[in-house]
């Protein structure tokens, strides 16, 4: 199969480092040209499921502007320019929870929107996590650190308590990876 080709790009919104929008002119493999194809540029990010040395899953109960009520959430954050995704995951784990993990499994990288861009999510499973410092998070939301056993995190996933698709996906992938 042939890929689409980008013939031209024009910035139509440069809001911040968190959101830019371009109009692309794209050519399909058939030769058809489509003008004004919107392309959303957001930072790439990481999400990591964390399991401590006692076998407990660490996650947050928190609020987010785009979610009604509270949601369970894994560790997550944007990748800084020049930073490797795994380094981001390790930094975010230490900043948000005050933990470091001895074992990291790469669960894959996934485009947020196949037709519009919106960044890439890099997903991880961190095992053998130990508290090494006090959390130092700059998140805007209130959050509560939870320690859940496997059956509890599976039940929470089944009940839809991870209300963001990427969060539910990383939990499902981590559980599958663990067998």
Beta bridge partners of 126: 50, 104
Q: What is the pLDDT of residue 141?
A: 66
Q: What is the pLDDT of residue 55?
A: 98
Read off the tokens for 154.
Answer: 């599976």
Which residues lie below 8 Å from residue 119, measured CB to CB, with a gap of 6+? 41, 42, 43, 44, 45, 111, 112
Beta bridge partners of 23: 10, 38
Read off the tokens for 125.
Answer: 């499973």
Rounded percentage of the chain residues whose pLDDT exceeds 90: 93
Supply the mean pLDDT for the chain. 95
pLDDT digits (tens, 9 = 90+) for 61-95: 999 889 999 999 999 999 999 999 999 999 999 99
Q: What is the pLDDT of residue 153?
A: 98
Q: Distance between CA 46 and CA 104 in Å, rounded?
A: 13
Q: Does this model's pTM top 0.85?
A: yes
Q: What is the pLDDT of residue 4?
A: 94
Cβ distance 75 to 105 under 8 Å?
A: no
Q: What is the pLDDT of residue 136?
A: 80
Q: What is the pLDDT of residue 146?
A: 97
pLDDT interval class at 142 (50, 70, 90)? confident
């Amino acid at each position: 199969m042939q890929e689409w080709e980008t013939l031209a790009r024009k910035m139509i919104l440069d809001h911040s480092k968190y959101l830019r929008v371009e109009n692309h002119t794209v050519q399909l493999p058939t030769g058809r040209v489509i003008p004004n194809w919107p392309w959303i540029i957001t930072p790439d990010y990481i999400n990591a499921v964390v399991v401590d040395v006692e076998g407990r899953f660490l996650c947050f109960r928190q609020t987010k502007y785009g979610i009604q009520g509270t949601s369970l959430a894994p560790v997550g954050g944007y990748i800084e320019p020049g930073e490797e995704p795994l380094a981001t995951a390790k930094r975010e784990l230490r900043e948000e929870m005050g933990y470091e993990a001895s074992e990291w499994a790469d669960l894959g990288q996934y485009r947020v929107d196949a037709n519009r861009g919106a960044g890439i999510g890099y997903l991880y499973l961190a095992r053998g996590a130990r508290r090494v410092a006090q959390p130092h998070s700059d998140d805007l939301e209130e959050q509560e650190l939870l320690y859940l056993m496997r059956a509890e995190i599976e039940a929470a996933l089944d009940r839809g308590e991870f209300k963001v698709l990427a969060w539910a996906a990383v939990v499902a992938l981590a559980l599958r990876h663990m067998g």
